[in-house]
């Protein structure tokens, strides 16, 4: 009986390693489901599953415009008390571009300045916070770069708190995903970036100051909860957006876009609807019960199921896989088979 068992084992192993072939590329053509975007760099990330669903030029270092203020907010929330007051300087009041209308000599709380930064994208408020926390723009930039190191950002460097174009002020789509994830983890900041409208105290002349969120997806695309827009001539249109729906959180980053809202919406729709392993492989592991419940027939934690369900198919042809025979173990098995099998079955003479 031993020879029969040996032949059966050989046949089984041969079936596993055959046919012999070089590593092949999976999905050599781009995934047809990924939308066509105008953005030059982008990333789509599933926060719950901790997975990058799709990306393009995600490590390219680019000007970031006002999405800089995500890092500004992260540093301020670490370094200052929300009820601290700061007096507005001339340099803050006169910084230019997008503003909330700060007036030199006014007293503002950190809380209100943060709201102006994240909702109105106010450069004057960002400058005032930088001076309050860092003592100067240069001092605050040092804190920003230290925070970047703490977050593990490898393609970012900060030179100012507002995002106006400046040498050595850049980030990447991948790093923006990490910044966005950190912001969403802070309950107060996460609440600010989903706020559509806020009213501040009038200026000294009595003019009302109201801030409407610059993110046009808020309140329009169901489930969008932020995060930050940006635009400069060098950066183009930039958007960091987040979607929370049915227990999932998706983060989409587009940089150098011609239509950042359309690009982000396309990515979020794709990320929410893409075919996952849940549909392909997880369903057979579930048992149906009355009332539509489908408890798992295989013991898995909620985190296990979330990670399995959200694994995406490869988004492009740059990734490849190797067949078993191309692995070290596969080569050893192949050598053993060829050394023990007759020549007529592929063995060595």
Q: Within its chain, how far is the Cα of 281 from the centroid?
A: 26
Q: Report how far residue 265's alpha carbon sits from residue 239's, in angstroms, rounded to the nearest whole number.
A: 10
What residues are labeled active site? Answer: 66, 69, 121
* Distance separating alpha carbons of residues 40 and 35, to the nearest angstrom: 13
The CA distance from 226 to 119, in Å, is 10
Helices and strands, number each (H, E), in the chain:
12, 11
* Cα 60 to Cα 39, 142, 203, 244, distances in angstroms: 12, 22, 41, 27
67-106 burial, b for 16+ CB within 10 Å, e for fewer? bbbbbbbbbbbebbeeebebebbeebbebeebbbbbeeeb
Per DSSP, the three-state class of 136 is coil
**For residue 37, with 0-12 CB atoms within 10 Å meaning exposed, 13-18 middle and 19 or more buried, which class applies?**
buried
Answer for the pair 320, 312: CB distance below 8 angstroms, yes or no.
no
Q: Is 237 helix (H, G, I), strand (E, B) or coil?
A: strand
> What residues pair up with 197 in beta bridges, in sequence order?
212
Peptide bond connecting 19 to the previous residue in cis, omega within 30 degrees of 0: yes
- Torsion angle, alpha carbons of 327, 332, 336, 342, to 10: 40
């Amino acid at each position: 009986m031993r020879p029969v068992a040996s032949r059966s084992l050989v046949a089984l192993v041969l079936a596993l390693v055959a046919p012999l072939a070089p590593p092949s590329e999976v999905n050599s053509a781009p995934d047809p489901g990924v939308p066509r975007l105008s953005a030059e760099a982008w990333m789509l990330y599933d926060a719950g599953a901790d997975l990058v669903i799709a990306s393009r030029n995600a490590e390219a270092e680019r000007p970031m415009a006002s999405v800089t203020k995500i890092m500004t907010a992260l540093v301020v929330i670490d370094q200052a008390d929300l009820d601290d007051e700061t007096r507005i300087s001339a340099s803050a009041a006169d910084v230019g571009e997008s503003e909330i209308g700060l007036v030199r000599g006014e007293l503002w709380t950190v809380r209100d300045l943060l709201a102006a930064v994240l909702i109105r994208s106010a450069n004057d408020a960002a400058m005032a916070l930088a001076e309050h926390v860092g003592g100067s723009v240069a001092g605050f930039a040092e804190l920003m770069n230290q925070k970047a190191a703490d977050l593990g950002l490898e393609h970012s460097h900060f030179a100012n708190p507002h995002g106006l174009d400046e040498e050595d002020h850049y980030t990447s789509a991948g790093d923006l995903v990490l910044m966005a994830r950190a912001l969403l983890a802070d309950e107060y900041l996460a609440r600010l970036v989903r706020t559509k409208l806020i009213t501040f105290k009038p200026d000294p002349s009595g003019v009302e100051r109201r801030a409407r969120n610059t993110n046009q997806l808020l309140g329009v695309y169901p489930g969008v909860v932020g995060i930050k827009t940006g635009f400069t001539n060098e950066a183009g249109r930039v958007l960091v957006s987040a979607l929370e729906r049915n227990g999932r959180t998706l983060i989409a980053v587009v940089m150098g876009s011609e239509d950042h809202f359309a690009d982000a919406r396309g990515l979020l729709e794709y990320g929410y609807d893409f075919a996952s392993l849940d549909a392909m492989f997880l369903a057979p592991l579930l048992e149906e019960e009355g009332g539509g419940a489908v408890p798992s027939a295989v013991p898995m934690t909620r985190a296990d199921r979330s990670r399995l369900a959200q694994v995406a198919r490869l988004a492009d042809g740059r990734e490849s896989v190797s067949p078993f025979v191309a692995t070290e173990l596969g080569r050893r098995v192949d050598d053993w088979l060829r050394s023990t099998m007759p020549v007529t079955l592929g063995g060595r003479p």
